[in-house]
Structure 1
Amino acid sequence: MVTCILSSDGNRSSASESNTTGITAFSLPGWQLALWALAYLFLILMALTGNITVIWIILAHKRMRTVTNYFIVNLVLTDTCMATFNVAFNFVYASHNIWYFGQAFCHSQNFFPIMVMFVSIYSMMAIAVDRYMAIIHPFQPRLSALHTKVIIGAIWLVASGLAFPQFFYSTITVEEGVTKCIVNWPEDGKVKLLVYHLTVIILTYFLPLVVMFVTYSMMGVTLWKQVVPGNQLVRVQQRQRHIAAKKRQFVKTMVAVVVTFAICWLPYHLYFILGTFRQDIYCHKFIQQVYLALFWLAMSSTMYNPIIYCCLNQRFRSGFRLAFCCCPWVTPSDEDKLKLFQRQSMLTIHKNHNKMSLSARKASFPETPNHQEGDLGFQLPSKL
């Protein structure tokens, strides 16, 4: 976090402060360290529990294995990795300004956050584009499972390339007996560093958010203005209204995810933009508290998505009830099991019912054309 070893208000730390004592000018008092440790521990436990549960809900139930949900798995996987491999180690480093974990982990610690942040937001963008095509262009070919895997692989590959300079220039330094993990750009690389930071922020934050804002705005306008023609049968009207309602609910869910991500990460990005122009801010004691707060806010985005899915999506809510059925206050119902396990049988029942209903309608209403039968129900599922 800190690139200098000055104490608060510009006073220099004593040269006797060494790595062996575990004390620097940026070491926190015990009570502050305990409070921050509890806050970060809570974040890690919530993120791991929620995201692993979401992965289980999707991968363990065939009904949930859709193109959109594969992108969601990719998203929650990056959140899980971030909570597991980045939060705790960065907290230890930020709370003492001493690097304890060696050269190899120094490389990965600077490389990993940028990579997973890129993967997270581009997984969200892929979901937005996929839903945009399904809602705005419903008769265009949809992504296959193979194409979905190729896109996910490409996202990880581009993310690795974007984060590689952080990996390449990471190094361990010892300043006045204090070991630090820094990204040591070349002496003539100040302009390159600024360009790189701005490129990362644009590619991992502003550009994807603009794309998602446009796509979700267009989807919202289309869905909220959607009207079922009045001359259709009541059953068909109800069915199409139900489909439109599910799609609107999905849009609400993903908009909540995107807005949460944007709010959590914006202060963190602004912090590093300011630090690029004013590196002296890193030499003040107060900046440690600022960084810990901003880093916690950014990392907290890893624990909010499962909460959003559970609150706004019925199937995920059913999945969470099944996952935590051992808890005395959680009682899954038969309907919860039906939503996750009975895909094929339910589809068969609905198809048979629709065939019988269609035959009856043709006999009763011979003037009704075939294409008025609600053809969106199973071809364009709007579920997560």
Structure 2
Amino acid sequence: MGIFSISNASNISQAESLKDSSNWTAVTQFTQPGWRIALWAITYSFIVITSIIGNITIIWIILAHRRMRTATNYFIVNLALSDLLMSAFNTIFNFIYASHNVWYFGEEFCRFQNWFPITAVFVSIYSMTAVAAERYVAIIHPFKPRLSAGSTRVIIGMIWLVAFGLAFPQCFYAEIMTDNGTTKCIVVWPDDVGSKHQLTYHIAVIVLIYLLPLMVMFVAYSIIGITLWSSAVPGNHLNSVRYEHQLNAKKKFVKTMVVVVIIFAVCWLPYHIYFILGSFKEDIYQQKYIQQVYLAVFLLAMSSTMYNPIIYCCLNQRFRSGFKLAFRWCPCIKATEKDKLQPSLTPTTATQNRGVLPMRSKNQCSRPEAVLVSRIPVTLF
């Protein structure tokens, strides 16, 4: 996992015995027509540019507007940052490496590239998990204290520290090797007979950065969904409109995050399967079309970094207005006065602007459902 190399350590160790084989050149040299490399380069460039622009915009929308700086949104900033760094530092260099199966960037950057992808993926998915956990507490246990800004920063810091630790072994054992005159960046596990260490590490990583957090999010969002969709609007007319609006806002948020999680899971599943298969069957890296297979699998995984801003923009009014403000210099995009106000609106103001009566009154506050409604913001982003 991490850096891709069609020739792994065990393949390189067998090089001497295969030099005289007529098909050895075909196995180790991965040349392809210029037009094909150009098509791959254009596709990868599109993903990188879209991801960088989109995630920078998400970070700006949240950090530039005080009312957007909630615990949930700080985790979304962390998610956007990890996706941004993944696009900037992993996608381009891995594409160049996979295109020729030659490492051009030196040993130190080889170690970095074997360390950073796992770190970024871990941060991405655990930021999503933190959002699910925060929403679970806010919706299922509305009377429990909400996360403070300080607690949110601590959790984000812990996510990064654990990510660093999880990625460290692969970084530590990464090194430069020469295979038939070409430079490779690979991970050489010590005394790894039968690639047992490599397989164990890959399985552990997949469980920790894929299966376990997806399971946690599935359970959390299932409980949240059952709770929200089974909720009944109170019969009191004074509260019912506001309660229904808040309920719809929470449902929309859950739908948004479920879409984010599903896309992440789908994009990364073939990538994990690829490396697990490679650990069990090493000659898979010597198949005729393995380079094209990897480029497609890696492209799908890296495309996950560009979808979240698109999802937020399509499904959330505040982010949609924020994007209009960020790109209002573009002739085809016009930001209205409403768009200028959206990211800065408080929940109460947003409700009043929609023609909904304010809910605070002595009679209302004495009712349990009114208290419950008052504890949960109207807008969840």
Which TM-score applies when normalising by structure 1?
0.89
Provide the secondary structure at the position in 2 that maps to 1:374: helix
Distance 1:347 1:379 in 2: 16
2: distance between equivalents of 1:370 and 1:273? 58
Q: Secondary structure at the match of 1:338?
A: helix
1:209 aligns to what SS in structure 2? helix
1:299 and 2:302 are equivalent in the alignment? yes
What's the CA shift for 1:165?
A: 0.6
1: distance between equivalents of 2:351 and 2:316?
24
Q: Are 2:55 and 1:51 aligned?
A: yes
Does 1:315 pair with 2:318?
yes
Aligned to 1:329: 332
Measure the CA separation in 2 of the matches of 1:226 and 1:235: 17
Matches within 5 A, 1:124-143: 124-143=128-147
Is the CA contact (8 Å cut-off) linking 2:252 and 2:315 kept in structure 1?
A: yes
Give 3-state SS (helix, strand or coil) of 1:173's partner: strand
CA deviation after TM superposition for structure 1 residue 328, in Å: 1.1
Q: Deviations over 1:213-241 (max 9, x none)?
A: 000000000001100232x1x13100000
Structure-2 change in CA distance of 1:209 and 1:271 (3 Å): same
Distance 1:129 1:239 in 2: 25
Secondary structure of the corresponding residue to residue 331 of structure 1: coil
Q: Is the 8 A contact 1:166 1:183 kept in 2?
A: yes
Please report how far the alpha carbon of residue 188 of structure 1 lies from its aligned counterpart in structure 2 after TM superposition.
Answer: 3.2
Gaps in structure 2 of 5+ consecutive residues: none
Q: TM-score if structure 2 supplies the norm length?
A: 0.90
In structure 2, the CA distance between the partners of 1:281 and 1:336, relative to structure 1 (3 Å rule), is same
Could you report, residue by residue, the CA deviation over 1:146-171 in whole angstroms, capped at 9, with x for unpaired residues? 11111111110111110001110000
| Equivalent of 2:160 in 143, 156, 161 | 156
Given candidates 187, 193, 202, the residue that maps to 1:197 is 202
Match of 1:13? 25
Q: Paired residue for 2:231, among 226, 232, 235?
A: 226
Q: Secondary structure at the match of 1:180?
A: strand
| Alignment root-mean-square deviation, CA | 2.4
Give the secondary structure class of the aligned counterpart of 2:25: coil
SS at match of 2:361: helix
- Counterpart-to-counterpart distance in 2, 1:115 and 1:308: 23
Contact 1:54 1:73 in 2 (8 A): yes
Deviations 1:76-120 (A, max 9, x none): 100000000000000000000000000110000011000110110
What code does the residue aligned with 1:45 have? I
Q: Report the CA distance between 1:349 and its aligned residue.
A: 7.7
Give, in whole Å, the separation in 2 of the partners of 1:140 and 1:256.
27
Q: Is the 8 A contact 2:139 2:224 kept in 1?
A: yes
Q: Deviations over 1:321-350 (max 9, x none)?
A: 111101111111111111112439938989
Change (3 A) 1:377 1:282: same
Q: Distance in 2 between matches of 1:212 and 1:254?
A: 10
Q: Which residue, out of 115, 120, 142, partners 2:124?
A: 120
What is the aligned-residue identity percentage? 57
**How many corresponding residue pairs?**
363
**Residue in 2 aligned with 1:18?**
none
Q: In the alignment, is the contact (CA less than 8 A) between 1:26 and 1:285 conserved in 2? A: no
Contact 1:239 1:374 in 2 (8 A): no
Counterpart Cα distance in 2 of 1:105 and 1:282 = 23
**Inter-partner Cα distance in structure 1 for 2:281 and 2:22:** 15
The change in CA–CA distance for 1:228 and 1:287 in structure 2 (over 3 A counts) is: same
* Cα offsets for 1:186-217 (capped at 9, x unmatched): 13352222111100000000000000000000
1:78 aligns with 2:78: no
Q: 2:351–2:358: 8 Å Cα contact kept in structure 1? A: no
> 1:62-87 CA distances to partner (integer Å, 9 max, x unpaired)?
01000000000000100000000000
**Kept in 2: contact 1:50–1:307 (CA 8 A):** yes
Among 222, 242, 246, the residue aligned to 1:243:
246
Quote the residue 1:34 is aligned against: 38
State whether structure 2 residue 97 is matched by structure 1 residue 93.
yes
- Opposite residue 376 of structure 2, the aligned amino acid is L
Distance 1:237 1:167, change over 3 A: same
2:343 matched residue in structure 1 = 340
**Equivalent in 255, 258, 263 of residue 255 of structure 1:** 258
Please give the per-residue CA displacement for 1:355-382, whole angstroms capped at 9, x wherever unaligned.
8x736xx5xxxxx772257334553225
CA distance in 1, matches of 2:177, 2:67: 52
Instruction: Please tell me whether residue 375 in structure 1 is matched to residue 347 in structure 2.
Output: no
Deviation string for 1:110-145 (max 9, x for gaps)? Answer: 110001101100000000000000111111111111
Separation in 2 of the partners of 1:196 and 1:378? 47
Matched AA of 1:249: K
SS at 2:234's partner residue?
Answer: coil
Deviations, residues 26-64 of structure 1 (Å, cap 9, x unaligned): 122101100000000000000001000000000000010
Q: Paired residue for 1:20?
A: none
SS at match of 2:183: strand
SS of 1:131's partner is: helix
The separation in 2 between residues aligned to 1:113 and 1:369, in whole angstroms, is: 50
- Which whole-Å CA distance do the structure 2 matches of 1:327 and 1:300 have between them? 25
Taking the aligned partners of 1:204 and 1:376, their CA distance within structure 2 comes to 35
| Code of the aligned partner of 1:206 | L
